[in-house]
């Protein structure tokens, strides 16, 4: 499953990155909108949210046809609010400039947070076409902000003011000013008029291409289903997988067959792991890894070529040698070479481990007289056989103990032990789909902390993978405003009230995404642009990855990994096997991920002017010594992280960078003797989970760990030799 915090779609502040596509609203169109707005009724979607806990998203009031006029109104209002700040005759101060910007565009933020839930969770009917129109309008709006010379002059004046030098502004205020100033520079504030116009053209075209790319991937996910009618073709599949395939077929109400393997990771992965039918494994594998690369109307290769050319031209216009240098400037790593150094430190060790894993798999295949050479569609299947042979661990024996609802209880319980959080499911709050449940989160004293929405099941129009979204960021400068966050997954729902059983990997992902949610819920800062997950890209995965570690603690497994039929806790014998096999298959997991991360960085560092994505991918994988027996986790034509927005571009390395922090942080709990040690948990809360972007992330980690990160912990965690 795709562990992806899909935050780029939630407008937690006015300056969240917008990176999608469509047509652009001209200044004349916006003026006409403003004139019409004087005569028309203001959209209810722009109103402040009503209801409990500071208001909730009014999903019950959404009418899809209202999105376009609502965005026109909201953008016009936001333009006016920014203009009022820029045109102010008062001397620039933190309050009348930076603080005013924190408040600007509130209606647009509320509307955007709701609309982009539709694009990711309910992208059916007219939503795709609306997205193609709306997002470029948002892109142009963002450009108007960053290219506003008067606004930048005011920000510059505050940045260079005595208040910054003499300590009149506190540390978090100074950080807010400095980051805003540098962001404006990175976005082209000092370009001349001609250059700004060119930059806007780049951004607008990229916005359209990003949307086309993501919608093409979604079309291929919908369009390629492997149907099965013959029961003999179910050989090897566990009962839980067969039931999920039957439910998937039923949901599609198709005559294609009784069972369906959909073209998503959560459906593909278990089929490749357990199916005895090699020809079907290959078909499912090819469907999945060919998304966006089928030479048809949804093929993404030409789109990628144009995206890369535009990114390169934009970086040079802004004064950077490559897109990677531009993107990485505000990160922890700072420079592409630092990220490459870490990846290349791990890569050869991971490849060596893959060679060992493949040898073990080939030996089993040969012993069974299978007469096969291990291919990518065989890797998961034979890896499972090796796991049974080497560790006597069959995850089919584990899965009956992995109920989605019980594991949700388990991750909530762990957060209660660590942070004192309490959860109560509430009703009467509008939701965007019947699958969604809402939980009130309170602290140890019963005070309201925030709301957590859970949307766990796959359906048509929902992007694959798993992600966290924040509907509203925490802040304290305009009174206490509490966060609203959501977790989103793609599990196949059970039938007739049966519990949903998930894989071990899916359970890890569940805890991972909840870590993002906790990062948003535990935020205790003043300003929304510094809140929760609004941190450096290569730091944002640290809180989520560290939260994975609580899944396999004995305290969680013994209480919540209970058999779905008997209610008996998972046997200690199985727990011991899971622990013993904790570093099993790390070659596959690391190489699969790192291949994508290296392609991402190399393709954004190249000086090639016209890139054939398939050729670049093929040649680069050969150059770095990619084993032929497994694919990269995200092939280039379906690499949503880096081509559906700028968000993770030249930044997919961040999962490894964050995991270096995670592994070191986990060792601190181990050194304390328990993952529930109250002193270490409080330090994690105070120095990581609650502080958002109020301090440099390296300093936050340093305060938690007592020193800089030890990257050797990353190698130890994965079972690789430490130099």
C-alpha span between 575 and 570 (Å, rounded) = 7
Burial (Cβ within 10 Å: 0-12, 13-18, ≥19) of residue 175: middle
* Positive or negative: CA dihedral 601, 607, 613, 615: negative
CA distances from 659 to 466, 539, 712 (A): 18, 9, 11
The most distant pair of C-alpha atoms in the chain lies apart, rounded to whole Å, by 83
Q: What are phi and psi of 278, to 5 degrees?
A: -65, -40
The rounded distance, in Å, linking the Cα atoms of 41 and 49 is 17
Q: Smallest Cα–Cα separation from 332: which of 666, 655, 624?
A: 655
49: nearest Cα among 480, 474, 472, 424: 472
| 368 classed as catalytic | no
User: Angle at the Cα of 337 (from 334 to 341), degrees rounded to 5?
Assistant: 115
Give the active site residue among 72, 81, 142, 513: 513
Helix (H, G, I), strand (E, B), or coil: what is residue 448? strand
For residues 222 and 106, what is the distance between their CA atoms, to the nearest angstrom? 35
Six-digit token string for 546: 């560290």
DSSP per-residue string spanning 608-619: -SS--HHHHHHH
Q: How many Å apart are CA 411 and CA 337, to the nearest integer?
A: 37
Distance, in Å, from the CA atom of 723 to the CA atom of 710, rounded to the nearest integer, reads: 12
Strand partners, 46: none
Q: How far apart, in whole angstroms, are the C-alpha atoms of residue 342 and residue 188?
A: 30
Q: Which residue pairs from 165-173 have beta carbons closer than 8 angstroms and sit at least 24 positions apart in sequence?
A: 169/94, 171/694, 171/695, 172/525, 172/526, 172/527, 172/530, 172/694, 172/695, 173/94, 173/98
The structure tokens 């004192």 sit at 420
Which contacts of 682-686 are long-range, i.e. CB under 8 A and separated by 24 or more positions?
A: 684/418, 684/546, 685/418, 685/419, 685/522
Positions marked active-site: 513
């Amino acid at each position: 499953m795709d562990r992806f915090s899909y935050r780029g779609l939630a407008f937690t502040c006015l300056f969240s990155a917008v990176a999608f596509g469509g047509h652009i609203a001209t200044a004349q169109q916006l003026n006409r909108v403003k004139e019409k707005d004087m005569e028309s009724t203001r959209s209810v979607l722009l109103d402040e949210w009503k209801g409990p806990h500071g208001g909730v998203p009014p999903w019950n009031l959404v009418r899809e046809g209202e999105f376009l006029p609502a965005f026109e109104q909201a953008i016009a209002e936001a333009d006016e609010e920014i203009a009022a700040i820029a045109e102010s005759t008062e001397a620039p101060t933190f309050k009348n400039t930076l603080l005013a910007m924190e408040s600007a565009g509130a209606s647009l933020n509320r509307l955007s947070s709701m609309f982009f839930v539709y694009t990711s969770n309910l992208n059916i009917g007219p939503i795709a076409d609306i997205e193609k129109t709306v997002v470029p309008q948002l892109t142009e709006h963002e450009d108007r902000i960053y290219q506003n010379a008067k606004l930048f002059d005011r920000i510059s004046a505050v940045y260079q003011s005595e208040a910054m030098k003499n300590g009149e502004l506190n540390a978090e205020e100074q950080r807010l000013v400095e980051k805003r100033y540098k962001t404006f520079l990175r976005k082209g504030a000092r370009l001349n008029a001609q250059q700004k116009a060119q930059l806007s053209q780049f951004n607008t075209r990229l916005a359209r291409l990003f949307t086309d790319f993501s919608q093409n991937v979604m079309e291929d996910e919908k369009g390629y289903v492997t149907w099965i009618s013959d029961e003999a073709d179910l050989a090897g599949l566990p009962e839980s997988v067969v039931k999920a395939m039957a439910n998937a077929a039923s949901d599609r109400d198709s005559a294609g067959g009784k069972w369906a393997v959909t073209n998503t990771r959560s459906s593909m992965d278990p089929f490749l792991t357990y199916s005895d039918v090699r020809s079907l494994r290959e078909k499912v594998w090819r469907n999945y890894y060919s998304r966006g690369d089928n030479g048809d109307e949804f093929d993404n290769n030409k789109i990628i070529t144009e995206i890369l050319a535009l990114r390169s031209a934009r970086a040079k216009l802004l004064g950077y040698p490559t897109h990677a240098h531009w993107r990485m400037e505000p990160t922890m790593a700072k420079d592409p070479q630092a990220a490459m150094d870490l990846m290349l430190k791990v890569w050869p060790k991971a490849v060596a481990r893959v060679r060992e894993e493949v040898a073990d798999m080939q030996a089993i295949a040969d012993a069974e007289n299978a007469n096969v050479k291990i291919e990518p569609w065989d890797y998961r299947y034979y890896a499972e056989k090796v796991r049974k042979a080497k560790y006597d661990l069959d995850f089919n024996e584990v899965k009956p103990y992995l109920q989605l609802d019980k594991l949700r209880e388990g991750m909530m319980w762990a957060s209660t032990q660590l942070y004192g959080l309490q959860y109560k499911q509430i009703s009467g709050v509008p939701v965007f789909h019947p699958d969604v449940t809402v939980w009130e989160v309170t602290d140890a004293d019963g005070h309201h902390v925030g709301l957590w929405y859970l949307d766990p099941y796959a359906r048509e129009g929902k992007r694959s993978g798993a992600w966290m979204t924040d509907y509203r960021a925490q802040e304290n400068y305009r009174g206490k405003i509490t966060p609203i966050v959501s977790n989103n997954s793609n599990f196949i729902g059970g039938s007739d009230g049966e519990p949903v059983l998930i894989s071990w990997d899916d359970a890890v992902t569940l805890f991972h995404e909840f870590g993002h949610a906790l990062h948003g819920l535990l935020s205790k800062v003043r300003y929304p642009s510094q809140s929760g997950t609004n941190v450096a890209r290569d730091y944002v995965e640290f809180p989520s990855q560290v939260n994975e570690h609580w899944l396999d603690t004995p305290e969680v497994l013994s209480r919540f990994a209970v058999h779905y039929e008997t209610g008996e806790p998972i046997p200690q014998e199985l727990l011991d096997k899971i622990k013993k096999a904790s570093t099993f298959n790390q070659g596959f997991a690391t190489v699969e991920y790192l291949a994508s991360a290296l392609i991402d960085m190399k393709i954004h560092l190249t000086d090639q002017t016209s890139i054939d994505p398939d050729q670049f991918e093929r040649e680069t994988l050969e150059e770095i010594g990619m084993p032929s027996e497994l694919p990269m986790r995200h092939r280039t034509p379906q690499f949503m992280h880096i081509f559906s927005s700028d968000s993770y571009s030249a930044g997919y390395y961040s999962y490894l960078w964050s995991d270096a922090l995670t592994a070191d942080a986990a060792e601190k709990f181990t050194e304390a003797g328990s993952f529930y040690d109250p002193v270490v948990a409080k330090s994690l809360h105070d120095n990581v989970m609650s502080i958002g972007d109020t301090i440099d992330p390296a300093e936050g980690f340093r305060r938690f760990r007592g020193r800089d990160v030890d990257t050797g912990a990353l190698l130890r965690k994965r079972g690789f030799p430490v130099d």
